[in-house]
Structure formats: C-alpha cells, structure tokens
Amino acid sequence: MEVIIKANAEEASREATAFLVRQCRNKPDSVLGLATGSTPVGLYCQLVALVQNGQLDLSQVTTFNLDEYCGLAADHPQSYAAFMRRHLFDHIRVRAWHIPDGLACDIPLHCAQYEADIAKAGGIDLQLLGLGGNGHIGFNEPGSSLQSRTRLKMLNAHTVAANARFFDLPDEVPRRVLTMGVGTILEARHCLVLATGLQKADAVAGMVEGPLCADLPASALQWHPHCTLIVDEEAASRLKRQEEYRWAYNNKPAWQHPG
C-alpha cells in the first residue's frame, strides 16, 4: 500500500484528483467506482472545473457508486443519487452512471444485478473510497465479511450518528443501506482512498499498520495489490512509520507520480 501524506485536506484532494485524471487520460473509457460523503466533494469540484475548462473529457467513462440508502428515492435530497447529481453529474457528461436503487423491490436480485453490471462493464479500473471513523469502506461496517458482495446492510449507531448532520432530525437517518461488499471493492484494479481530519486518524492507523481483521474492514485493503492512501497531516498523525512513507513518496521516479 502506498501512503501519501499531504499538508492539508485541499492538497490531499488535489493529489487524489490527479490520480483520477491520469486514469481517465490513459484510458478514456475507464470504469470508475465513486464514493459519497463530505471527503470527495473537493475532488468532484476539481473534476467539474477541468471538464468545463476543456482540460478533461469524461464522456466515455462509466461509473458505479459504492452505496445508497435503502428506502430513499433517487430524487430525495439526501439520497446518494441526488448527492452525485449535485456535485458531479449535473455538471459533466459521462457515458453511463450507476447507483444502487434504494427502492428496489427485490433487494437480493437487484444486488446480484449490480454485481453483474460491474462485470459486464469490464470491472472497475479505479475505485475511489472514503474511510469511516470506525474503519468502514462503502457501508461495510465493523464485523462485515471481508469477502462480501453487494448486499443489504444495517448501519451501526456510530455511522448513523455521523450521518445525522445531513438530515433535519436524527430519526430521519436511514438505518439500512445497499452497499458494494468488501470483496467487490477488492476486485477493482486500483483502490484510491482519501481520508482527512483528526477524526480519521485511528482508522487510518488501523487500516495501514494494524492487523487485517473484520473489526476494521478497511484493513482488507492490505491485501490489495494496488492501493493508494492519500491523507492529510491530521489523518496521518497516528501512523508509526510516517517518515518512511514520506521518504518513499519523495524518492519515487517521476513516471509514478500522477501529475
């Protein structure tokens, strides 16, 4: 796993954007896995600006989002479909974008079809990930199977509390979600994790330097052959080998840098 430590959240977001830009320039018909939440908002703003300025073409790209709240329609303002439209898809053109259907009648069938659609598209070239404060990726909460596939999951109290800020009342936060599984995520050719802020420091340390275990699902990324973690100084603050990561980044050849 490559660990890249940047001075602040803005620089971390800029570095992550550079990886996505390089991926899409090298392979214009890339299949991207996308994430929601506050962390990638800056990245999406940068992508929109590049496209609108004529510096990037995403018109051949296909995307698959990690997750969606169960019970929310796509036009609900707090659905992840609405989030993606606000921050990305209302401003750029892609070939196709996919988000799990929070109102699916037959959830097992819908989840199986989502997996099939990813496979039909050729698999995910680059999967963008955030990192929950409790170590979840997607909505794979602590205790999730590390071989899990897209499925229905129940959110735990920590995640419900963290997401309550997006809703008018805490009781409005959905308790169930549809999410790609850890096993699904691990099949992406490149996993790109963006984590910022002191509240993510323990999860970052566990993900990178802790044991591989279901109690911290993000630790499964230690298995991945091509995983890049980009963090700011606060999120990196509890890593024991910070200087090693800095040295490796500062001394890698120019062709390995995204921009």
Question: pLDDT tens across 18-45, in order?
Answer: 999 999 999 999 999 999 999 999 999 9
Residues 215, 141 contacting (CB under 8 angstroms): no
Q: Residue 164: is its pLDDT beyond 90?
A: no
- Whichever domain contains 232, its CATH number is 3.40.50.1360
Domain that holds residue 152: 2-239+246-252
* Residues catalogued as catalytic: 67, 134, 136, 141
Domain membership of residue 208 (yes or no) is: yes
Q: What is the mean pLDDT of the chain?
A: 96
Q: What is the pLDDT of residues 51-105, one digit of tens each?
A: 999 999 999 999 999 999 999 999 999 999 999 999 999 999 999 999 999 999 9
Token look-up 């509390």 returns 161
Sequential DSSP letters for the chain: -EEEEESSHHHHHHHHHHHHHHHHHH-TT-EEEE--SSTTHHHHHHHHHHHHTTS---TT-EEEESEEETT--TTSTTSHHHHHIIIIITTS--SEEE---TT-SSHHHHHHHHHHHHHHTT--SEEEE---TTS-BTTB-TT--TT--SEEEEPPHHHHHHHGGGSSSGGGS-SEEEE--HHHHHTSSEEEEEE-SGGGHHHHHHHHHS---TTSGGGGGGG-SSEEEEEETTTTTT-TTHHHHHHHHHTS-GGGS--
- Whether residue 259 is contained in a domain is answered as no
Structurally, the chain folds into a number of domains equal to 1
Q: Does pTM surpass 0.85?
A: yes
Question: Would residue 158 count as lying in a domain?
Answer: yes
Identify the band that residue 232 occupies on the pLDDT scale cut at 50, 70 and 90.
very high
108 burial (CB, 10 Å; 0-12 / 13-18 / 19+) is exposed
Instruction: Give the pLDDT confidence score for residue 254 in this predicted structure.
Output: 85
180, burial (CB in 10 Å: exposed 0-12, middle 13-18, buried 19+): buried
Q: What is the pLDDT of residues 125-142, one digit of tens each?
A: 999 999 999 999 999 999
142-157 pLDDT per residue, tens: 999 999 999 999 998 8
Q: How many CB atoms lie within 10 A of CB 211?
A: 9
Q: Is residue 257 in a domain? A: no
